Copies of this chain bind each other. A is one copy, B any other.
């Protein structure tokens, strides 16, 4: 590997290094003929600009940092989430010649703010994508803010102030799912809430209420059970909902794991899904396709959200314009086999 530098290219092309730099960086003010000469020299020498030198001189690293909560490896949903986020961000990065640095971290650590600050100050990524739930934690957001690095928050429950937040329409799409169930003739539609700490999950409940109202169905506390996002809690809630008299004909769970728990319990109780009970989830994790019957759910557009976030981030780095406001990437219903017409 011969180390080809900008000087070699300049010499071969018969121009100054500054001109080569202009061509490489696609700057204006280069005559077409000159540009062609330089490009030929670059191709011939197989010149690759040295990033470290570039970074040092330009104060840009061409690196985007993706910071997220370190998933326990054995948690499927987390793995899927993380991979999808990474893919979204990566596709934006590669389209713009940025590379991606990942930094999973444990927010429970005391000095997490400092850890992130050190990371940023040493590596100097040009921008940060911060994923939920970290994106909802003031001390983490503040730590990043303090470094002055452009920041986009991914899917925070509550969008606020000083950065761009990319969210999805949890509430509206949950209402849509509820209306869909109502349109199948269900009148007793139950809901299983998720872990109270997740704001986004709370919005799903509000959407359920909206959907009932929009379908002129009356709300009943009896039809709501409180889960904690785990399969096990889905099972418990299902038992509670299905064992009373006057049982629901449809159950909408705030996430897929709990919905899978419902299917499991229905199976155990001999209740046929979807003939006697429709079940819907939220997130469209891989498990949704693997349970039997395959789960009707809501596709959380994580990859699209992440890509959107990174695209906006990179654009803002280039314009030097600050990022503000909230952008919504809509989710969509994934109708599969676990929902069907209400029984007579």
Contact = CB atoms under 8 A, between A and B. Distances in A.
Interface in A217-253: 231
Given A74-B286, A290-B76, A99 B123 contact: yes
Interface in A22-62: 48-53, 55-56, 61
The size class of the interface chain A forms with chain B is: 35 or more
Nearest to A302: B73
How many protomers of this protein does the assembly include? 2
Given A48-B121, A87-B73, A292-B264, A100 B99 contact: no
Interface stretch (A78-86, A181-189, A198-206, A275-283): A78-86
Nearest to A120: B48
A124 B50 CA distance: 8
A147 B1 contact: yes
A214 interface: no
Interface string A136-166: 0000000000111000000000000000000
A290 B287 contact: yes
Contact of A83 (B71, B123, B148): B71
A334 to B, nearest CB: 11
Contacts of A80: 73, 76, 79
Nearest to A303: B73
A90 interface: yes
22 contacts: A50-B56, A50-B122, A50-B124, A51-B124, A52-B56, A53-B56, A63-B101, A73-B84, A73-B87, A76-B76, A76-B287, A78-B83, A79-B80, A86-B102, A90-B104, A99-B103, A99-B119, A99-B123, A100-B102, A231-B290, A260-B290, A287-B287
Shortest Cβ-Cβ A-B pairs, 4 listed: A52-B55, A48-B121, A76-B286, A52-B56
Interface of A: 1, 48-53, 55-56, 61, 63, 70-71, 73-76, 78-80, 82-84, 86-87, 90, 99-104, 118-119, 121-124, 146-148, 231, 260, 264, 286-287, 289-290, 292, 303
